[in-house]
């Protein structure tokens, strides 16, 4: 009876750890998606111009060029510099940015670097939990329910968050969410730009960030699925090794 209670408790501990592993993998995937978008030159170039055309109701590239103040070639060059700077691959910002814009991009670079570091930490912890759950579950043969409940609860929470993001966009609540996120991430108001003086806001209208959020969520989901497959593989390999060791020790 005592052994049965221990096994039951171990099963639920394994389930909780499995759920935590899912959440950590999801957070790590979000960090990867953010860095990928921040380092994507097309975000500051082709995607930017398309969003400007859509939001401004422009009918030609010439109108987009007149509004932004850069033609396609010029914006592509600026995009390369921005992408390289934000991801830490270069230290020079485009000279056409004014002082406030340059300081804001320094802040953005800090945020992206922090998210990238946290992403690595989350994924490392998820891998560690894969090993821990392999150990705690090594003696569990028929108690899969707690683990399934933990994983499904975590996946359900992730899906709820994604659905909420989509609903915010489709219901027109993106602006409020966008403002709230910026107030949390930045300790100044340099992100509040003026289209008359700041080229960044002309390059990056709200539509661009709405599309980036949806694209980022899709990318994060793909990364999460890939990471989850790798975690499952790691879990199974370690658990088989532990069970083989336990079996050999018992036979001896």
Per residue of the chain (252 residues), what is the pLDDT tens digit? 566 666 677 777 777 888 888 889 889 998 999 999 999 999 999 999 999 999 999 999 999 999 999 999 999 999 999 999 999 999 999 999 999 999 999 999 999 999 999 999 999 999 999 888 888 776 665 545 455 556 666 676 676 777 676 666 666 677 888 888 899 999 999 999 999 999 999 999 999 998 898 888 888 888 888 888 888 888 888 878 887 877 777 776
Q: Based on the number of CB atoms within 10 Å of its own CB, is 227 exposed (0-12), middle (13-18) or buried (19 or more)?
A: buried
Q: What's the DSSP call for residue 230?
A: H
The CA distance from 133 to 147, in Å, is 9
Please tell me the predicted confidence (pLDDT) of residue 4: 66
Please tell me the predicted confidence (pLDDT) of residue 26: 87
Please tell me the predicted confidence (pLDDT) of residue 176: 83
Q: Is 114 helix (H, G, I), strand (E, B) or coil?
A: helix
Please tell me the predicted confidence (pLDDT) of residue 2: 63
The CA distance from 96 to 106, in Å, is 15
């Amino acid at each position: 009876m005592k052994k049965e209670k221990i096994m039951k408790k171990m099963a639920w501990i394994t389930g909780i750890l499995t759920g935590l592993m899912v959440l950590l993998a999801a957070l790590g995937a979000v960090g990867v998606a953010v860095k990928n978008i921040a380092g994507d030159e097309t975000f500051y170039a082709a995607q930017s111009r398309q969003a400007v055309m859509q939001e401004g109701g422009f009918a030609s590239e010439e109108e987009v060029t007149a509004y932004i103040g850069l033609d396609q070639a010029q914006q592509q060059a600026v995009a390369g510099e921005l992408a390289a700077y934000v991801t830490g691959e270069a230290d020079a910002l485009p000279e056409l940015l004014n002082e406030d814009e340059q300081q804001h991009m320094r802040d953005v670079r800090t945020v992206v670097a922090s998210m990238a570091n946290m992403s690595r930490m989350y994924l490392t912890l998820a891998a560690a939990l894969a090993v821990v759950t392999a150990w705690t579950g090594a003696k569990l043969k028929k108690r899969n329910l707690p683990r399934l409940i933990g994983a499904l609860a975590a996946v359900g929470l992730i899906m709820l968050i994604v659905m909420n993001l989509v609903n915010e966009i489709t219901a027109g609540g993106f602006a409020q969410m966008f403002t709230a996120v910026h107030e949390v991430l930045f300790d100044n108001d340099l992100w509040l730009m003026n289209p008359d003086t700041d080229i960044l806001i002309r390059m990056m209208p709200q539509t661009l960030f709405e599309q980036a959020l949806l694209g980022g969520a899709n990318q994060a989901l793909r990364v999460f699925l890939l990471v989850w497959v790798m975690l499952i593989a790691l879990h199974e390999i370690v658990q088989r090794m532990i069970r083989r060791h336990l079996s050999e020790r018992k036979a001896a």
